[in-house]
Homo-oligomer: A and B are copies of this chain.
Amino acid sequence: MADYPPTVRELLAALRELPSIGPRSAERLVLFLLAETGGTKERLARTLQAVGSRVRACSRCGFYAEEEHCELCRDSTRDPLLWCIVASPGDVLRIERAAAFRGRYHVLGRRLSPLEGIGPEQLPTGPLLARIEREHPREIILALGTDAEGEATALYLGQLLKKTGARISSLATGLPAGGGLEFADSVTLSYALAGRREL
């Protein structure tokens, strides 16, 4: 039984390392890449290498950067004393897209997760506390998610950070925008009831 040439098989194997790319998707991508002559292969190869060699974590906040500090930390129009702590660099972009926050971020990198063996000792709070010591934020918003890991991490950090004197808050839990009650699960509804706002 014939198969792809060795080089193509290696590309197939590399594509299979990507998330949600199964054998069929990988083969469809390979057939496209073998047929195309518009330079997609070369552009992909070049940008993959560039990302691997140039992109790193901002030494201050942990977001993606191509220099010592990221675009956000270099932006002097942002409030340096209002912080938002998130779990991953992708979360920074999600909040940025809401266009409702003009402060600085701190990317924690991981959340408490007993199942994955991440306890309070494994949580990288050292760099966070050192940065707070240096920069003295006025307010810190915890945006760590509303699943078990997010809630546990927020609870732990909330207690830890209270000593710093900053105002600590967490994102509101409630009904998502743009939908009727029929789209909300009962846990979300109970949070929305508990957090009701007077009009």
- A residues near B (Cβ < 8 Å) are 1-8, 10-11, 13-15, 17-20, 25, 27-35, 38, 40-52, 54-55, 63-66, 70-72, 75, 88-90, 92-93, 96-97, 99
Complex partner residue of A40 from B17, B33, B90, CB under 8 angstroms: B17
Some 9 contacts from A to B, beta carbons below 8 A apart, are: A2-B72, A2-B96, A4-B64, A13-B47, A14-B43, A18-B32, A19-B32, A31-B90, A33-B51
Tell me if A66 and B5 are in contact (CB < 8 A).
yes
Closest 5 CB pairs between A and B?
Answer: A11-B47, A45-B48, A45-B45, A41-B52, A14-B43
Residues on B with C-beta less than 8 A from A34 are 51, 55, 64, 89
Q: Write the nearest CB–CB distance from A32 to chain B, whole angstroms.
A: 5
Residues on B with C-beta less than 8 A from A54 are 5, 7
Residues on B with C-beta less than 8 A from A13 are 43, 47
Complex partner residue of A48 from B33, B51, B90, CB under 8 angstroms: B33
Tell me if B44 and A14 are in contact (CB < 8 A).
yes
Complex partner residue of A42 from B2, B52, B92, CB under 8 angstroms: B52
Complex partner residue of A29 from B6, B8, B18, B71, CB under 8 angstroms: B18
Q: Write the nearest CB–CB distance from A75 to chain B, whole angstroms.
A: 8
Tell me if B1 and A97 are in contact (CB < 8 A).
yes
Which residue of the partner chain B has the closest CB to A36?
B17
